């Protein structure tokens, strides 16, 4: 069985597009690490990921959040979103960047279904990337900033941007000329039961969609709307995983978690775009 480090080296070799976060030169394997021609070195975490940040970034996206998120995803609550993303991508072999990948669930799902696809996942949260390395797929997992992606120009045929603020300039740079951005963003009913529990109004549509259309030409789009019946335990996981609740104290989140709803709605737009 391959170690996590071996899988990372294999993914990096397959993609062949990793660049030095210091000078931008190509990074190649140097024994158990990576190095560029100017002798900048990048250490490989023993758990199978790279960290290209110059300093540690504080984030509320911690291990507990991603553990809850994983249980929600394992329960199938976002399977329809994965299928919609997959349907947007050409059948030809894909080189995918999951930008703001979180714990890597979407990228793992796609690579697990397509043995001739390869990919990388980048997130600013170290806890998220450490969770991502537990997936069975072979992918290049990177702790990094979407404003400065450690990849060469034109490296990917597709960029996934799922419920994450976009950096359209960087996405354009790392995409091939015919590459697709797959943008997933909330519809008005997204997690409406949790918003009600917090006494928040429904999500207001329009702003993300309008800005996206300024930056990109929409090639295809669909809307995924599914209402799931949930157990008390799954409702609690939704409460603990969503950024909607992250300004609350643990006690306040538990108050909402114990007042279980009967269902949760996933309502998301999925758009395949070519950046202008």
pLDDT at 55: 75
Give the mean pLDDT of 52-65: 77
Other C-beta atoms within 10 Å of 56: how many? Answer: 9
More reliable by pLDDT, 64 or 96:
96
Grade residue 206 by pLDDT with cuts at 50, 70 and 90: confident
Task: Please report the sign of the dihedral spanned by the C-alpha atoms of residue 143, residue 129, residue 197, residue 186.
Answer: positive
Q: Among the ranges 62-71, 155-164, 248-257, which has the highest mean pLDDT value?
A: 155-164
Residue pair 267/186 in contact (Cβ under 8 Å)? The answer is yes
Q: Indicate the helix (H) or strand (E) that contains 161.
A: strand 156-162
CB < 8 Å & 24+ apart, contacts of 24-27: 26/152, 27/150
Rounded Cα distance between 240 and 115, Å, is 33
Q: Give residue-wise pLDDT tens across range 60-77.
A: 677 888 889 999 999 999
Residues 263-269 have a mean pLDDT of: 97
Kindly report, residue by residue over 210-246, the tens digit of the pLDDT.
999 999 999 999 999 999 999 999 999 999 999 999 8
Predicted local distance difference test score (pLDDT) of residue 163: 96
Compute the mean pLDDT over every residue in the chain, rounded to the nearest whole number.
Answer: 94
pLDDT score recorded for residue 64: 84
Global pTM reads 0.95
Write down the H helix ranges in the chain.
Answer: 4-15, 63-74, 79-88, 105-113, 126-132, 168-174, 192-197, 207-215, 232-241, 250-258
């Amino acid at each position: 069985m391959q170690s996590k480090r071996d899988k990372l080296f294999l993914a990096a070799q397959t993609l062949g597009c990793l660049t030095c976060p210091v000078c931008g030169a190509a990074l190649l394997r140097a024994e158990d690490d990576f190095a560029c021609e100017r002798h900048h070195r990048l250490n490989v975490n023993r758990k199978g990921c790279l960290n290209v940040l110059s300093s540690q970034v504080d984030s509320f996206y911690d291990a507990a959040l991603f553990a809850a998120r994983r249980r929600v995803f394992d329960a199938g609550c976002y399977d329809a979103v994965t299928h919609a993303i997959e349907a947007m991508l050409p059948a030809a072999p894909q080189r995918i960047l999951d930008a703001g990948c979180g714990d890597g669930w979407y990228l793992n799902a796609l690579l697990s279904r397509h043995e001739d696809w390869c990919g990388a996942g980048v997130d600013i949260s170290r806890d998220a990337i450490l969770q991502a390395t537990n997936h069975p797929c072979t992918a290049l997992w990177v702790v990094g900033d979407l404003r400065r992606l450690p990849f060469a120009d034109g490296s990917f045929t597709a960029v996934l941007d799922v419920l994450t603020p976009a950096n359209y300039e960087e996405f354009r740079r790392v995409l091939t000329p015919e590459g697709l951005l797959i943008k997933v963003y909330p519809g008005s009913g997204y997690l409406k039961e949790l918003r009600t529990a917090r006494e928040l109004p429904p999500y207001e549509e329009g702003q993300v969609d309008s800005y996206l259309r300024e930056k990109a030409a929409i090639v295809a789009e669909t809307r995924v709307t599914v209402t799931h019946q949930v157990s008390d335990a799954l409702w609690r996981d939704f409460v603990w995983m969503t950024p909607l609740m992250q300004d609350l104290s643990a006690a306040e989140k538990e108050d909402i978690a114990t007042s279980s709803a009967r269902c949760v709605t996933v309502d998301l737009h999925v758009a395949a775009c070519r950046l202008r």
